[in-house]
A and B are shown apart, each in its own frame.
Chain A
């Protein structure tokens, strides 16, 4: 007991969420929730756009014939 009393903060047990056999620390649950929120925001948040000064042009002769239907990709 005396040992527990002198342990620094990070070694404390922390808080856990339990549902039947499932158990997860509150910290990990909050991090996963933040990642899900970040994922949703990344899907729907508007992305800044700009118009290029020079439109993109690719020399069609530099692309092999068999790749021209796929944007020059192999």
Chain B
């Protein structure tokens, strides 16, 4: 008598060598269960100094939305119409707040030694995000397409040439600077910011120096 082996049901857990299984395990294991979007935090988080990280994120969201609108509207729109001026100002002031919040966040984390407890990579991604943000702001100055951007680019040209990268990073090339400002650097900031937030959720908010994690 022959027996027929029943076929494995479609969608059942396959061999662990499947790349989808590997990727699923990696994604679901990035943060502990329930910590991706927590509704409660340890008691020590109830301080205004812990608010500046999410304020920085909120500012970044406004920066990205207003920057996208400026890119869609174009130079003539942001220079020549009332609505363009308004969105341009929103972009400027959200960037100002973004940097203020990020610097206060940096000070707060520095003075509580936020790299403690396996959080070194969280600290490093924050540093990279800060540096990339400065580069994005500088290329934003060059993208204004006004006398100010002409003056700044002419001044910056000597400095960039002096470090030997002037032929690859040409601040007198508005098209190249526009691409750095609206594509390459925002993409880098986005990726590093996502890594930073995932790491914060993975390792938890750093406790003050005189407290223990999870109190």
Check if A38 sits within 8 Å of B214, measured CB to CB: no
Count of interface residues, chain A, beta-carbon cutoff 8 Å: 23
* A8 CB, nearest partner CB in chain B, Å: 10
Interface size class of B (residues with CB under 8 A): 20 to 34
Chain A residues whose CB sits within 8 angstroms of the CB of B33 once the complex forms = 62-63, 72
Binary contact readout A22-50 vs B (1 if CB under 8 angstroms, 0 otherwise): 00000000010011001101110101010
CA gap between A42 and B51 in the complex, in Å: 9
CB-nearest residue of chain A relative to B119? A73
Check if B108 sits within 8 Å of A39, measured CB to CB: yes
Check if B32 sits within 8 Å of A52, measured CB to CB: no
Check if B108 sits within 8 Å of A63, measured CB to CB: no
Chain A residues whose CB sits within 8 angstroms of the CB of B49 once the complex forms = 39, 42-43
Check if B104 sits within 8 Å of A74, measured CB to CB: no
Chain B residues whose CB sits within 8 angstroms of the CB of A63 once the complex forms = 32-33
Q: Which residues of A contact B (CB under 8 A)?
A: 11, 31, 34-35, 38-39, 41-43, 45, 47, 49, 52, 56, 58, 62-63, 67, 70-74
